[in-house]
């Protein structure tokens, strides 16, 4: 009897160890596929739809810089609504610990360092939380392979991703990696702290840039609990910008736009 | 004003000639234009203490802004003009060039020439180190409205931090209310009568330097300025009229912020040296943000700041005609306690509230500022300031009946 229990434990442990390894392996393959893009700039339109179907929009532009030894750097500029035009956020993501973040307020030309611990809060009234939009470093989650399932019509590996940060708004998420297209993400289903289904993010209109990197034309987030939706439509991707560290500085928060 | 313009034009042409040397590039010019039209209504709860003061001020303001960019955005001309028409107080009806400058921005250096606004500092309740621009006092009570400052501004982004140099060829006089205006001293000073320590008057040539950097959780700024003071003394001129008097000053400033998790720890301090007085002032405090409270999306930041200032507030002795103290501050030992509510909604709604308490006397100022966007292009703002329990030897004693509420509605084009 005892032996059977021990055996069952061994099997359970080894399979869970196996699925953890496999989950991490898939995440690493994704990370490898998205290594080497260097830097790029985007313009996008964010469309927010409330539970009554009313829409409002924001125009954003962004720039990203890949870092090898630490998390990536990014800047987001608000181009509309007009009363917040010029507002910009600079983020240095870190593989471990909290990110560094600065906010530029154009009315008084002030740059202020802000706390970046607000992971779970909504980004400018949208259904995207700050953590959904920050750089997805491998170290920020633990992984577990769950199953294979179709998403966007493609066969995907579904990996459960658990956030390391206790301040995350999620207990876990199911990430759909497409192994036939360099492990690009087709879909993410988010589960809230209680483990209930919370939001679904669908990646649409993938295009290949620089010969090997898949980037989506649209991110579509649906909140199942509030019935609100947010779409981010990328209008341009520019991989020829050749950005450097200085382009991600407090000074450039003001002068880059 | 004409002279400011000619300075600006000369600077533009000389830099333009210089940048041509760097080699011509794609010359496609991109233009952007925006316009804000707003109307504000300021209502004072009590009658003014002084003759002719009014209780209700309505005004309209326009602020057109433009950007011209070329050379793939490396060269730009930025313009930000401002004008207000007010029902009372002819000085509140005024216009200004907030910004009008040419800039060339390379990867590791930037050079600007013209009128520009610069912000220094980390503290919310007072702005001690922030002295590049003159305060547009008739615009707002919090000292965050600034006049455009003519300058040459050079920035170097090095591996050991950001170095900035400023050449300041002109001094702007602080705007001041007329008889009808509120939030003023019992005597009405005319900015145009201002006298200067510098032989060059407002053409006093000054300079400033700033080093800023960040080290992990720390953000640090160290600044030095030598120019005519933005704050003035009150003294009697040859015709025995009281006028603003601007001295020369040296000022050393330090700002430090530590950002540890949801805590922000802040310090800023100055040492200022002038003929009439050498003094130091500092402010230190902290801010903690409770974010996404109960998954509502709402953030609440709570903050407390201690303010210390060596200077005595201005006093008028109407019997002897003697004037002592400074117009620069109403704070000696005070504490500010407040909160900031951010709703993180599609309308970017936010509320800022707080109280300033004198630690040695009874005076208090309570304030509330709320803002929200309506539709896509409208914005409403509400501001409330309450002055209470001020005693005779405090600066805000002069404003003790000037509690007010203000509503502002703006449309963006």
> Cβ–Cβ of B107/A244 closer than 8 Å?
yes
CB within 8 A of A197, min separation 6: which ones? Answer: A189, A190, A191, A224
pLDDT in tens, A53-94: 999 999 999 999 999 888 999 999 999 999 999 999 999 999
> Cβ–Cβ of A113/B34 closer than 8 Å?
no
Share of chain A above pLDDT 70, in %: 93
B63, pLDDT greater than 70:
yes
A17, pLDDT greater than 70:
no
Q: Which is more confident, A16 or A238?
A: A238
Nearest CA to A111 among B97, B224, B117? B117
Query: Considering CB atoms only, which of B119, B155, B157 is closest to A110?
Result: B119
pLDDT at residue A98, rounded to an integer: 86
Query: Considering CB atoms only, which of B162, B292, B377 is closest to A118?
Result: B292
Interior angle at CA B267, CA B264 and CA B273, nearest 5: 165
B53, pLDDT greater than 60:
yes
A100 interaction partners in chain B (CB closer than 8 Å): 214, 259
CB within 8 A of B240, min separation 6: which ones? Answer: none
E strand segments, B22-160: 30-44, 56-70, 75-86, 94-105, 109-116, 149-158
B10, pLDDT greater than 90:
no
**Smallest CA–CA distance from A245 into chain B, residue:** B107
pLDDT in tens, A151-174: 999 999 999 999 998 889 999 999
Mean pLDDT of all residues in A104-121:
91
> Cβ–Cβ of B259/A113 closer than 8 Å?
yes
Do residues A131 and A163 make contact, with C-beta atoms less than 8 angstroms apart?
Answer: yes
Residue found under tokens 């003094």? B279
Mean pLDDT of all residues in B186-215:
95
- pLDDT confidence tier of residue B124, bands split at 50, 70 and 90: very high
Q: Which two tokens stand for residue B162?
A: 């950001």
Mean pLDDT of all residues in B162-180:
96
> Cβ–Cβ of B377/A83 closer than 8 Å?
yes
> Cβ–Cβ of B34/A251 closer than 8 Å?
no
B274, pLDDT greater than 70:
yes
CB within 8 A of A234, min separation 6: which ones? Answer: A42, A43, A44, A215, A216, A217, A218
Do residues B255 and B130 make contact, with C-beta atoms less than 8 angstroms apart?
Answer: no
**Smallest CA–CA distance from A105 into chain B, residue:** B119
pLDDT at residue A20, rounded to an integer: 77
Nearest CA to B162 among B112, B108, B121? B108
**Smallest CA–CA distance from B259 into chain A, residue:** A115
> Cβ–Cβ of A108/B117 closer than 8 Å?
yes
- The hierarchical CATH code for the domain B2-412 is 2.40.160.10
pLDDT at residue B154, rounded to an integer: 98
Domains of chain B, residue spans: 2-412
Query: Considering CB atoms only, which of B103, B214, B373 is closest to A81?
Result: B373
B375, pLDDT greater than 80:
yes
- What is the H or E stretch that residue A96 is in? none
Q: A97 and chain B: CB distance < 8 Å anywhere?
A: no
pLDDT at residue A8, rounded to an integer: 63
pLDDT in tens, A172-191: 999 999 999 999 999 999 99
> Cβ–Cβ of B347/A98 closer than 8 Å?
no
Indicate the average pLDDT of chain B.
91
- pLDDT confidence tier of residue B317, bands split at 50, 70 and 90: confident
Q: Which two tokens stand for residue A224?
A: 């199942």
Q: Are strands A207-209 and B364-374 parallel, antiparallel or unpaired?
A: unpaired
pLDDT in tens, B338-351: 999 999 999 999 99
A15, pLDDT greater than 80:
no
CB within 8 A of B67, min separation 6: which ones? Answer: B30, B31, B32, B76, B77, B78, B79
Q: What is the C-alpha to C-alpha distance for residues B358 and B306, in angstroms, rounded to an integer?
A: 10
> Cβ–Cβ of A115/B73 closer than 8 Å?
no
Which of A:27-86 have CB within 8 Å of B? 48, 50, 56-57, 80-85
Query: Considering CB atoms only, which of B119, B219, B344 is closest to A122?
Result: B344
Q: What is the C-alpha to C-alpha distance for residues B272 and B352, in angstroms, rounded to an integer?
A: 31
The Cα of B389 is separated from the nearest Cα of chain A by a number of Å equal to 31
ipTM over 0.95: no
The Cα of A247 is separated from the nearest Cα of chain B by a number of Å equal to 7
Q: Tell me which architecture the domain covering A5-255 has in CATH.
A: Clam (2.50)
pLDDT at residue B327, rounded to an integer: 79
- pLDDT confidence tier of residue B315, bands split at 50, 70 and 90: confident
Share of chain B above pLDDT 90, in %: 78
pLDDT at residue B15, rounded to an integer: 58
Do residues B149 and B168 make contact, with C-beta atoms less than 8 angstroms apart?
Answer: yes
Residue found under tokens 């982004």? B157
pLDDT at residue B290, rounded to an integer: 94
> Cβ–Cβ of B346/A56 closer than 8 Å?
yes
Do residues A198 and A190 make contact, with C-beta atoms less than 8 angstroms apart?
Answer: yes
> Cβ–Cβ of A255/B261 closer than 8 Å?
no
Phi, psi torsion values for B102, nearest 5 degrees: -100, 140
A3, pLDDT greater than 90:
no
Indicate the average pLDDT of chain A.
91
Q: What does each C-alpha distance from B29 to B10, B11, B78, B109, B168 come to in angstroms?
A: 21, 20, 13, 21, 29
pLDDT at residue A91, rounded to an integer: 93
Domains of chain A, residue spans: 5-255
> Cβ–Cβ of B155/A50 closer than 8 Å?
no
B117 interaction partners in chain A (CB closer than 8 Å): 108-109
């Amino acid at each position: 009897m005892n032996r059977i229990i021990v055996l069952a434990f061994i099997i359970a442990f080894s399979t869970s160890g196996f699925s953890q390894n496999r989950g991490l392996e898939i995440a690493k393959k994704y990370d490898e596929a998205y290594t080497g893009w260097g830097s790029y700039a985007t313009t996008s339109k964010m469309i927010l739809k409330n539970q009554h179907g009313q829409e409002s929009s924001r125009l954003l532009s962004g720039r990203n810089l890949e870092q090898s030894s630490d998390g990536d750097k990014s800047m987001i500029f608000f181009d509309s609504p007009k009363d917040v035009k010029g507002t910009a956020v600079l983020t240095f993501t870190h593989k471990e610990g909290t990110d560094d973040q600065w906010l530029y307020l154009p009315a008084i030309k002030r740059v202020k360092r802000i706390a970046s611990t607000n992971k779970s809060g909504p980004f400018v009234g949208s259904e995207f939380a700050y953590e959904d939009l920050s750089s997805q470093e491998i170290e920020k989650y633990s992984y577990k392979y769950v199953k294979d399932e179709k998403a966007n019509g493609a066969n995907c590996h579904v990996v459960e991703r658990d956030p390391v940060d206790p301040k995350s708004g999620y207990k876990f998420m199911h990430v759909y990696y497409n192994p036939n297209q360099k492990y690009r993400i087709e879909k993410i289903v988010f589960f809230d702290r209680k483990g209930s289904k919370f939001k679904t993010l669908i990646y649409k209109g993938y295009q290949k840039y620089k010969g090997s990197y898949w980037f989506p034309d649209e991110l579509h987030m649906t909140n199942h609990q509030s019935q609100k939706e947010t779409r981010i439509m990328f209008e341009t991707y520019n991989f020829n910008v050749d950005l450097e560290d200085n382009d991600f500085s407090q000074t450039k928060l003001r002068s880059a736009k | 004003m004409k002279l400011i313009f000619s300075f600006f034009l000369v600077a533009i042409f000389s830099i333009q000639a210089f940048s041509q040397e760097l080699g011509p590039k794609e010359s496609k010019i991109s233009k952007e234009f925006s316009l804000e039209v707003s109307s504000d209504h300021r209502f004072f709860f009590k009658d003014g203490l002084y003759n002719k003061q009014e209780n209700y001020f309505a005004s309209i303001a326009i602020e057109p802004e433009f950007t011209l960019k070329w050379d793939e955005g490396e060269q730009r001309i930025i313009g930000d003009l401002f004008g207000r028409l007010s029902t009372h107080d002819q000085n509140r009806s005024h216009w200004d060039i907030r910004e009008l400058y040419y800039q060339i921005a390379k990867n590791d250096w930037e050079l600007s020439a013209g009128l520009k606004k610069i912000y220094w500092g980390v503290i919310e309740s007072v702005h001690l180190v922030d002295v590049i621009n003159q305060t547009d006092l008739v615009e707002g009570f919090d000292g965050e409205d600034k006049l455009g400052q003519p300058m040459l501004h050079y920035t170097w982004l090095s591996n050991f931090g950001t170095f900035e140099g400023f050449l300041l060829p002109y001094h702007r006089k602080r705007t001041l209310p007329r008889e009808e205006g509120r939030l003023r001293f019992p005597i009405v000073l005319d900015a145009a009568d201002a006298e200067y320590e510098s032989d060059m008057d407002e053409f006093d040539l000054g300079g400033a330097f700033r080093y800023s950097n960040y080290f992990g959780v720390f953000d640090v700024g160290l600044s030095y300025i030598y120019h005519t003071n933005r704050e003035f003394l009150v003294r009697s001129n040859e015709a025995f009229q009281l006028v603003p008097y601007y001295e020369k000053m040296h000022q050393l400033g330090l700002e430090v912020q530590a950002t540890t998790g949801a805590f922000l720890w802040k310090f800023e301090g100055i040492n200022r040296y002038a003929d009439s007085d050498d003094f130091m002032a500092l402010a230190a405090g902290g801010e903690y943000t409770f974010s996404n409270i109960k998954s509502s999306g709402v953030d609440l930041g709570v903050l407390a700041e201690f303010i210390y200032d060596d200077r005595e507030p201005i006093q008028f002795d109407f019997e002897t005609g003697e004037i002592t103290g400074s117009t620069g501050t109403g704070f000696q030992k005070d504490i500010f306690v407040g909160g900031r509510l951010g709703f993180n909604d599609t309308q970017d709604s936010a509320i800022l509230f707080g109280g300033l308490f004198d630690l040695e006397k009874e005076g208090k100022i309570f304030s509330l500022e709320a803002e929200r966007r309506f539709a896509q292009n409208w914005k409403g703002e509400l501001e409330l300031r309450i002055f209470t329990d001020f005693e005779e030897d405090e600066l805000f004693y002069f404003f003790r009946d000037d509690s007010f509420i203000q509503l502002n509605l703006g449309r963006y084009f």
